Structure 1
Amino acid sequence: MPTRERVAAFVAMVESNRHVEAIEAFYHPHASMQENQQPPRAGRDALVEGERRMLARNRVHTHPADVILVDGDRSVVRWRFEFTPHEGGPTLLLEELALQRWEGDRIVEEQFFYDPVQMRPPG
């Protein structure tokens, strides 16, 4: 089960836009991530590669998390991200809740909950 300090350290790394490093440092090798009700993506190496691909397409600005809850082996973080495509185009603002399950000091499962309408360009 993570300490509040461990979860805060994870949040601080993401807030500093060190997304790949956060996955490498805080996720278990067999971790999974899931977008809403989509099938989960599994394996830390695959999660790192997916994050690198997303960052190759977008500049990401991470807003400070304003809600961080820790209860036993679960945590919830309310995130707000801005994604601006490197190739041009509108900036998308994504607000989501990330529900995480930890084993010791590593995240093993993470599910993101957000309104998919946010992923559409404005207008």
Structure 2
Amino acid sequence: MPSLATLRAFAQAVESNDHVGAIERFYAPDAAIRENDDPPIRGREALAERERRLLATVAGVKTTRLGPLLYDGDHAAIRWRFEFTASDGSVRAMEEIAWQTWRGEQLIEEHFFYDRRTPGKPSRKDAASGVEP
């Protein structure tokens, strides 16, 4: 079970847009991320590299936590809003819920839930595959 201090530090890293650093510091070596119904991606190094690729497709991203950290034992949930700025200056936004499972102080599984069909809102999958949001 993570401490509240760990959860706060994780959220602060993500909110400061240190997305790759958050993966490197808080995820277990065998961590997995799953988006909606997609198959999971496994391994901290693969997850960090995927995040680097996603961030390379945009000029910038603003991350905002919407609401409190919700947690119970080894589980936590965070509601996020991401505003992606494209190279042409246009901004698109998406909101997601991140459902997390922790093992002690390390994140071992994260499942993102968001609507890919909402017009004008990019998906992490599109950004990670090189399609500019």
Measure how far apart 1:92 and its partner are. Answer: 1.9
Q: Is the CA contact (8 Å cut-off) linking 1:90 and 1:121 kept in structure 2? A: no
Q: Which residue of structure 1 lines up, in the alignment, with residue 69 of structure 2?
A: 68
Q: Secondary structure at the match of 2:65?
A: coil
Pairwise mapping of residues 74-113 of structure 1 onto structure 2 (< 5 A)?
A: 74-86=75-87, 88=88, 90-113=90-113
Measure the CA separation in 2 of the matches of 1:13 and 1:113: 20
Which amino acid in 2 is paired with 1:101?
T
Q: Secondary structure at the match of 2:95?
A: strand
Q: Which residue of structure 2 lines up, in the alignment, with residue 38 of structure 1?
A: 38
Q: Secondary structure at the match of 1:14?
A: helix
Measure how far apart 1:89 and its partner are. Answer: 6.5
Measure the CA separation in 2 of the matches of 1:8 and 1:95: 19
Q: What 5-or-longer segments of structure 2 have no aligned partner?
A: 122-133
Q: What 5-or-longer segments of structure 1 have no aligned partner?
A: none
Measure the CA separation in 2 of the matches of 1:54 and 1:29: 20
Measure how far apart 1:83 and its partner are. Answer: 1.2
Q: Secondary structure at the match of 1:46?
A: helix
Measure the CA separation in 1 of the matches of 2:36 and 2:89: 25
CA RMSD of aligned residues (A): 1.4
The total of aligned residue pairs comes to: 120
Residue 37 to residue 89, structure 1, CA distance change in 2 (3 Å): farther
Q: Which residue of structure 2 lines up, in the alignment, with residue 5 of structure 1?
A: 5
Q: Which residue of structure 2 lines up, in the alignment, with residue 115 of structure 1?
A: 115
Measure the CA separation in 2 of the matches of 1:31 and 1:19: 15
Residue 121 to residue 90, structure 1, CA distance change in 2 (3 Å): farther
Measure the CA separation in 1 of the matches of 2:47 and 2:34: 10
Q: Is the CA contact (8 Å cut-off) linking 2:20 and 2:51 kept in structure 1? A: yes
Residue 75 to residue 68, structure 1, CA distance change in 2 (3 Å): same
Q: Is the CA contact (8 Å cut-off) linking 2:93 and 2:120 kept in structure 1? A: no
Measure how far apart 1:5 and its partner are. Answer: 1.3
Deviation track 1:25-59 (CA, whole Å, cap 9, x = no partner) reads: 00000100011111011100000000000111111
Measure the CA separation in 2 of the matches of 1:50 and 1:85: 18
Which amino acid in 2 is paired with 1:116?
R
